[in-house]
Amino acid sequence: MAPRVQLEKAAWRWVDSVRPEDIHREHIEIAYRICVPPCKRGACRRNCKGNPNCLVGIGEHAWLGEINENSFHNIDDPNSERRDKNTFVGLTNLGATCYVNTFLQVWFHNLELRRTLYLCQNARAEEHNMDSDYEPRSICEHLQYLFALLQNSNRRYIDPSGLVKALGLDTGQQQDAQEFSKLFLSLLEDTLSKQKNPNLQNVIQLQFCGQMSYVTVCNQCGRASPLPSRYYELELNIQGHKNLTECVTEFLKEEKLDGDNRYFCESCQSKQNATRRIKLHSLPHVLNLQLMRFIFDRQTGHKKKLNTFISFPEQLDMGPFLEGKEDEKCVYELSAVLIHRGVSAYSGHYIAHVRDARTSDWYKFNDEEIEKMEGKKLQLGIEEDIAETVKSQTRKPKCSKGYHCSRNAYMLVYKCHREEDTDPMETNVDVPGFLQRLVDRDNRKFEEWCLEMADMRKQSVDKGKAKHEEVKELYELLPAEDGQQYEFVPLEWLKKWLDDSTDCSLRNVCMF
């Protein structure tokens, strides 16, 4: 006979021999199995319904052993939000603003641009009352403060929402990253042009602007018509190409103008067949090369991404492409690679690989997360060069020493190699006093928050440990020994008390 059935029979065996008027307390205690010994821990797989003294399987195991103090709170260690020594500061992704974060990190690492922005007049920041939060207004003010925080903040990452809001960007919709780069530099150039200092007015041109011309030659009379132009980046077609040299060569290739596309020659005073090509006359200090990875598909009417592998060098000699200086060396060093991960032109994730101008170390900037690459070499990683969900027959080509291959790189930043760039005086950029005071104030707020979170965490842990000791002590006292006064406590109340999810009160427990 099963133990439970035996208990049931034993509990009511006296009923046949005891008259109703002779029923006493001991009979009721037998019926309710009050005298059944408590079950030992580990003897039952679940709580015994036939034994009111069984205190096994009600959630006690979580309290009777050693408990990790992290289970007493849901507050992360505030120090995990603290910037590690000798690392850079990340930027919060506000929803779909990772493309903005990558450009901000690239521009922050342009030491000349950062140094110049710090020199911009900012009377509001200089006269700011430290009792209130500083709120930049202009794009220049936002960049100043953001760069100062990126440089000297104690936080692991900072929030760029002020600048993003000032730019009028939709944080929930991913914009065209390549178009954003051009528009932002144009906006910044316009803002800086209003500065009184001429060195500040022209910094965007000095850093990013080169001179070129569109030269059209009439096939009939041979007259050449140059059209001078400035450029801030070169937009290179990658379709059908394997390396950067091929892309630049095609960019400068002669184009035939014939048929409906004939050229009106001022000398001939009529439309004539002609040729047109681009000539580069000067190169900027920082050369931005846009790889046209996102193109318009006429068949679908939408943009699509080209997953073409393009190889590019760590050192790029632009001398052969410069008009009149084909025999001179004009060496540029790779300083940043911007990556788009994903198969669609309308979605995906943007990250940036940037070389530290002071140490030549490479870092991967992925919003809040920043990873330093081992050694001094760029390491794009497997994840950057795999187009997820698309089975491509194209294998990654082998790269020669000093070259890299990527199917997701959409912008390459090269910096002109100069001996003075290694001078400590050139690589050190000091935050001006008025901005450092604002950074110090933000750091104090961060330290106060860390202390507050640590205190809340400690209080939760102390409360949890006290509860732990209380539960262990009370649990040992729960079984009523023979002859002791006892009370009935609902099993569900005990479970809730042990689960610590409900504030159970002993006032709700009735005396037997």
Q: How much is the pTM?
A: 0.80
Catalytically annotated residue among 27, 285, 349, 417: 349
Q: Most confidently modeled of 63-77, 193-207, 347-361, 468-482?
A: 347-361
The CA distance from 350 to 305, in Å, is 14
Count CB-CB contacts under 10 A for residue 424.
7
pLDDT digits (tens, 9 = 90+) for 158-173: 999 999 999 999 888 8
Which range among 3-17, 36-50, 251-265 shows the weakest confidence by mean pLDDT?
A: 3-17
pLDDT for position 389: 46
pLDDT for position 239: 93
Which range among 21-25, 251-255, 340-344, 382-386 shows the weakest confidence by mean pLDDT?
A: 382-386
Q: Is the pLDDT of residue 222 over 80?
A: yes
Write out the E strands in 298-408: 302-305, 310-313, 315-317, 331-341, 349-355, 362-366, 369-372, 403-406
> Residue 342: which pLDDT band, with cuts at 50, 70 and 90?
confident
- Catalytic residue list contains 302: no
pLDDT for position 232: 95
pLDDT for position 136: 82
3-state secondary structure 183-217: HHHHHHHHHHCCCCCHHHHCHHHHHHCEEEEEEEE
Q: Mean pLDDT in the chain?
A: 85
> Residue 347: which pLDDT band, with cuts at 50, 70 and 90?
confident
> Residue 483: which pLDDT band, with cuts at 50, 70 and 90?
confident
pLDDT for position 213: 96
Helices (H), 110-154: 111-119, 123-126, 139-152
> Residue 504: which pLDDT band, with cuts at 50, 70 and 90?
very low
Identify the residue with better confidence: 315 or 473: 315
Residue 131 corresponds to which tokens in the numbers above? 């009792």
pLDDT digits (tens, 9 = 90+) for 47-70: 888 888 888 888 777 777 777 766
Q: Dihedrals φ, ψ of 264, to 5°?
A: -85, 110
pLDDT for position 277: 95
pLDDT digits (tens, 9 = 90+) for 349-391: 999 999 999 999 999 999 999 999 988 788 887 655 455 445 5
Residue 297, beta-bridge partner list: 302
- In this prediction, residues 278-307 reach a mean pLDDT of 90
- Catalytic residue list contains 504: no
Identify the residue with better confidence: 133 or 179: 179
State the DSSP string of 413-449: EEEE--GGGG-HHHH--PPPHHHHHHHHHHHHHHHHH
Which range among 199-203, 380-384, 410-414 shows the weakest confidence by mean pLDDT?
A: 380-384
Count CB-CB contacts under 10 A for residue 243.
19
pLDDT digits (tens, 9 = 90+) for 77-124: 888 899 998 899 999 999 989 999 999 999 999 999 999 999 988 777
pLDDT for position 172: 84
pLDDT for position 63: 74
Domains of the chain as residue ranges with CATH: 3-69+459-508 (no CATH), 234-251+284-422 (3.90.70.10)
The CA distance from 302 to 307, in Å, is 16
Q: Is the pLDDT of residue 141 over 70?
A: yes
- In this prediction, residues 433-438 reach a mean pLDDT of 92
